C-alpha cells in the first residue's frame, strides 16, 4: 500500500532544513517523519530541479504536481515518434534505428532513450498485419472449401442422426457463392459438388483454387503440389486448371473463407436455432400428450416440490434414486405403503410426472375405478381396449389398493394384468394396508401367491408413517388465519 504523502507545508520544511545543511537523520527527528521519506522528497525535488528558496509564485498544488507528476504528464514530456515514417525510412538502404533515434533526439532532447525507442517501435511493428490486395478478373478463379460447421440430419425412417458437410464455392470477381450439403468429403462427393457448382454458375472458370484436403490434393507442397488423379481428370474434362492454395495460407483463398463465414452466420446458425426451437416445441408437445394420457390425480405434483422436512420416514436418498427412473428401465416395481393422509398418492404422481418428463408412458388408475371400468367393458365390448391400455404403458400406477376383498373377476383381471406386465413393464402400487395383509385382500391363496410373487419380489419399497399431511396443512392455514386476525 503506498505511503500517505506529507503536507506540502512540511515538504517545504524538509527542503529548507536540507538547504541549511542538516543531515537526513536530524531532519527526520526534527519533523517527526521517517528518514527514508526525507531522502525521497529531497530526491524528487532534485529531479524536478527545485532548490531552496522556492519561487514565490509556486503554490502548494504546483509544488505537489512537480514533485509527483502523473503518468499523463510524463507521457506529454515524451512525444512519440511518427512510426509510419520510421517504418518507411527503414526500408531505405543503410538506414538503421540508431540513425533514426539520433535524428529523433535532435528534435526532442528530452525524448525516449535508445532502448525505449527501439522497444516502442518493435511493439508498434508487431501490430502490423501486411496483406496484398488481390485483384480478380471475372471468370478467372473459383475458390472452393468446406465449412467448419456441420448440420445434423435425422433419418425419418431409422431416427439415426447424420452429420452433413457444407461445400462452398465462390467466384473471385463477384463473390457469387454456391453452397450445398453433402454426406462426406470423399472423392465422389467432392467431384459431384464441383460439377453441380459449374452447372449453377453456368460456366467453368479458368482456375479452381481448392484447399489441400486429401480428395483434391494428394501431397501438399509450396512449389509442386500433387493433385489427385481423378480431380485432375475432372479439370481436364471441363477445361480448367487446379491451383491449390499454399499450405497453412488461408489468405490465398480469402474469398471462399469469407463466404464460409456468411454461410455459417446467415444460413447454418439460424437454421440450427430454428431446428432447436422446433425440437423443444416437439418435446413440449410430447410431454403434454404423455401427461394428458397419464391422467395423474395430482397433476401439479413434481419431485422438486417433495417435502422431506415433515416427519413421515421418507428416505430422501432412496426417493431421489427412484426419481432417476432406472428401476422403470429395468422393469421393476415400487410399493408405497402408509396410513391415510401421509402423501402416498402425491408421491406416486410426482414419480409419474418425472417418468413422463423422461419420455416414458404412464397410466394412473385408482384400483376400485379400474375394476369397475373393466367390469363395464365386458358388457359393452370395450374390455380388450381397456386391458391393452393397462398393459401397454411403461409405468402403471395403481392407487389406493385395498381394503376391500377382491371378487373372483377382479382376481382374474389383476392376475392377467400382472402377468402381462411381469418383466415387461413396471407397476407402482400405493396402499394403506401393510404388505402382510395383501394376501388376505386377494382372497384365493393360489391367486394371491401368483400375484404377489410377480409384484413383490422385484419391487422397491417406501414405508411411510406419521400424521396426516392434510391435517398439518389445515392447521397451518388456521394458524396463519389467526395471526392475520390478531394483526388486524
String of DSSP letters for 259-304? HHHHHIIIIIHHHHHHHHHHHHHHHHHHHHHHHHHHT-SSTT--GG
Residue 420 lies in a domain: yes
pLDDT of residue 38: 83
The answer to the question of residue 134 being in a domain is: no
Last residue of a domain, one of 69, 90, 108: 69
- Nearest one of 10, 8, 3, 9 to 30, comparing CA atoms: 10
477: in domain: no
Stretch 316-345: mean pLDDT: 91
> What is the pLDDT, as a whole number, of residue 75?
44
Position 486 confidence tier, pLDDT thresholds 50, 70, 90: low
Residue 2 lies in a domain: no
Q: What domain count does the chain have?
A: 4
Taking residues 379-406, report their average pLDDT. 89
User: Do 46 and 117 have their domain in common?
Assistant: no
- Angle CA(456)–CA(462)–CA(465) in degrees, nearest 5? 130
Of residues 28 and 373, more confidently modeled: 373
Mean pLDDT confidence for 130-148: 88
CB count within 10 Å of CB 32 equals 7
pLDDT of residue 488: 59
Q: Is residue 344, in this structure, part of any structural domain at all?
A: yes
Domain with residue 234: its CATH number is 3.30.420.10
Rounded to whole angstroms, the Cα distance separating 172 from 181 reads 22
Give 363's pLDDT tier (boundaries 50, 70, 90): very high
Q: The pTM is what?
A: 0.56
Q: What is the pLDDT of residue 72?
A: 47
Contact 213, 245 (CB under 8 A): no
Residue 251 lies in a domain: yes
Q: Locate all alpha helices (DSSP H) within 127-239, ordered by sequence.
A: 187-201, 229-238
Do 258 and 194 share a structural domain? yes
Q: Among the three residues 39, 69, 99, which one is the final residue of a domain in this structure?
A: 69
In this model, does residue 333 exceed pLDDT 70? yes
Structural domain boundaries, residue 186: 141-264
Count of helix runs (H) and strand runs (E) in the chain? 21, 13
259 and 347 assigned to the same domain? no
Residue 205 and residue 352 in one domain: no
Decide: helix, strand or coil at residue 465: coil
Q: Are residues 245 and 111 in the same domain?
A: no
* pLDDT tens-place string over residues 210-255: 999 989 999 888 788 899 999 999 999 999 999 999 888 888 899 9
Question: Using one digit for the tens of pLDDT, what is the confidence trace for 269-328?
Answer: 888 888 888 888 988 999 999 999 999 999 889 999 988 888 888 999 999 999 999 999
Name the band, by pLDDT with cuts 50, 70 and 90, for residue 30: confident
In terms of domains, do 60 and 90 share one? no
Which domain-ending residue is among 53, 69, 85?
69
Within-domain flag for 221: yes
Q: Are 110 and 47 in contact (CB under 8 A)?
A: no
Structure confidence by residue, pLDDT tens digits, 34-51: 888 888 888 888 887 777
Q: Is residue 114 domain-shared with residue 21, that is, in the same domain?
A: no
* Residue listed under C-alpha cell 431421489: 320
Q: Are 418 and 449 in contact (CB under 8 A)?
A: no
Let me know the angle formed at the C-alpha of 135 by 129 and 139, rounded to the nearest 5 degrees.
Answer: 140
Secondary structure string (H, E, C) spanning the chain = CCCCCCCHHHHHHHHHHHHCCCCHHHHHHHHCCCHHHHHHHHHHHHHCCCCCCCCCCCCHHHHHHHHCCCHHHHHHHCCCCCHHHHHHHCCCCCCCHHHHHHHHHHHCCCCCCHHHHHHHHHHHHHCCCCCCCCCCCCCCEEEEEECCCCEEEECCCCCCEEEEEEEEEEECCCCCEEEEEECCCCHHHHHHHHHHHHHHHCCCCCEEECCCCCCCEEECCCCCCEECHHHHHHHHHHCCEECCCCCCCHHHHHHHHHHHHHHHHHHHHHHHHHHHHHHHHHHHHHHHHHHHHHCCCCCCCCHHHCCCCCCCCCCHHHHHHHHCCHHHHCCCEEEEECCCCCCHHHHHHHHHHHHHHCCCCEEEEEHHHHHHHHHHHHHHCCHHHHHHHHHHCCEEEEEEECCCCCCHHHHHHHHHHHHHHCCCCEEEEEECCCHHHHHHHHCCHHHHHHHHHHHHCCEEEEECCCCCHHHHHHHHHHHHHHHHHHHC
**Above 90 in pLDDT, residue 352?**
yes
pLDDT tens for residues 141-189? 999 999 999 988 888 788 788 899 999 999 999 999 999 999 999 999 9
Same domain, 299 and 391: yes
Same domain, 221 and 344: no
Report pLDDT for 73. Answer: 47
Average pLDDT, the chain: 87
Query: What's residue 480's pLDDT?
Result: 65
- Same structural domain for residues 33 and 88? no
Residue 216 lies in a domain: yes
Q: What is the C-alpha R_g of the chain? A: 43
User: Do 388 and 462 share a domain, yes or no?
Assistant: yes
Are residues 353 and 464 located together in one domain of the fold? yes
Say what the pLDDT of residue 51 is. 79
pLDDT digits (tens, 9 = 90+) for 49-101: 777 888 877 887 878 878 877 644 444 456 778 888 888 888 888 888 888 89
Amino acid at each position: 500500500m503506498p505511503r500517505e504523502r506529507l503536507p506540502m507545508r512540511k515538504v517545504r520544511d524538509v527542503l529548507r532544513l536540507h538547504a541549511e545543511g542538516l543531515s537526513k537523520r536530524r531532519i527526520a527527528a526534527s519533523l517527526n517523519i521517517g528518514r527514508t521519506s526525507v531522502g525521497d522528497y529531497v530526491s524528487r525535488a532534485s529531479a524536478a530541479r527545485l532548490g531552496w528558496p522556492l519561487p514565490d509564485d509556486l503554490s502548494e498544488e504546483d509544488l505537489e504536481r512537480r514533485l509527483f507528476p502523473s503518468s499523463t504528464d510524463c507521457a506529454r514530456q515524451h512525444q512519440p515518434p511518427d512510426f509510419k515514417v520510421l517504418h518507411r525510412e527503414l526500408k531505405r538502404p543503410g538506414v538503421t534505428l540508431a540513425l533514426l533515434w539520433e535524428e529523433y533526439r535532435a528534435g526532442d532532447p528530452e525524448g525516449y532513450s535508445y532502448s525505449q525507442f527501439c522497444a516502442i517501435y518493435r511493439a508498434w511493428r508487431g501490430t502490423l498485419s501486411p496483406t496484398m490486395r488481390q485483384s480478380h478478373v471475372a471468370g478467372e478463379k473459383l475458390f472452393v472449401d468446406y465449412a467448419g460447421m456441420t448440420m445434423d440430419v435425422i433419418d425419418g425412417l431409422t431416427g439415426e442422426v447424420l452429420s452433413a458437410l457444407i461445400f462452398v464455392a465462390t467466384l473471385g470477381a463477384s463473390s457469387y457463392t454456391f453452397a450445398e450439403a453433402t454426406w462426406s468429403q470423399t472423392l465422389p462427393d467432392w467431384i459431384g459438388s464441383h460439377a453441380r457448382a459449374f452447372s449453377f454458375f453456368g460456366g467453368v472458370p479458368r482456375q479452381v483454387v481448392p484447399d489441400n484436403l486429401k480428395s483434391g490434393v494428394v501431397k501438399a507442397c509450396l512449389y509442386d503440389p500433387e493433385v489427385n488423379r481423378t480431380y485432375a481428370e475432372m479439370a481436364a474434362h471441363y477445361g480448367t486448371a487446379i491451383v491449390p492454395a499454399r499450405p497453412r495460407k488461408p489468405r490465398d483463398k480469402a474469398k471462399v473463407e469469407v463466404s464460409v463465414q456468411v454461410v455459417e452466420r446467415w444460413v447454418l446458425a439460424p437454421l440450427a436455432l430454428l431446428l432447436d426451437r422446433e425440437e423443444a416445441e416437439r418435446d413440449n408437445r410430447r410431454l403434454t400428450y404423455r401427461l394428458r394420457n397419464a391422467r395423474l390425480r395430482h397433476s401439479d405434483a413434481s419431485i422438486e416440490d417433495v417435502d422431506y422436512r415433515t416427519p413421515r420416514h421418507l428416505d430422501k436418498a432412496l426417493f431421489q434414486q427412484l426419481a432417476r427412473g432406472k428401476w422403470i428401465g429395468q422393469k421393476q416395481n415400487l410399493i408405497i405403503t402408509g396410513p391415510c393422509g401421509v402423501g402416498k398418492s402425491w408421491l406416486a404422481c410426482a414419480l409419474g410426472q418425472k417418468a413422463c418428463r423422461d419420455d416414458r408412458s404412464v397410466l394412473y388408475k385408482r384400483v376400485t375405478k379400474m375394476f369397475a371400468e373393466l367390469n363395464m367393458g365386458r358388457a359393452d365390448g370395450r374390455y380388450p381396449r381397456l386391458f391393452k391400455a393397462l398393459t401397454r404403458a411403461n409405468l402403471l400406477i395403481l392407487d389406493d389398493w385395498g381394503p376391500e376383498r377382491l371378487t373372483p373377476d377382479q382376481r382374474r383381471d389383476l392376475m392377467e394384468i400382472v402377468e402381462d406386465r411381469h418383466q415387461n413393464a413396471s407397476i407402482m402400487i400405493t396402499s394403506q394396508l401393510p404388505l402382510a395383509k395383501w394376501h388376505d385382500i386377494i382372497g384365493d391363496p393360489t391367486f394371491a401367491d401368483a400375484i404377489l410373487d410377480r409384484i413383490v419380489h422385484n419391487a422397491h419399497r417406501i414405508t411411510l408413517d406419521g400424521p396426516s399431511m392434510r391435517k398439518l396443512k389445515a392447521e397451518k392455514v388456521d394458524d396463519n388465519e389467526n395471526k392475520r386476525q390478531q394483526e388486524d
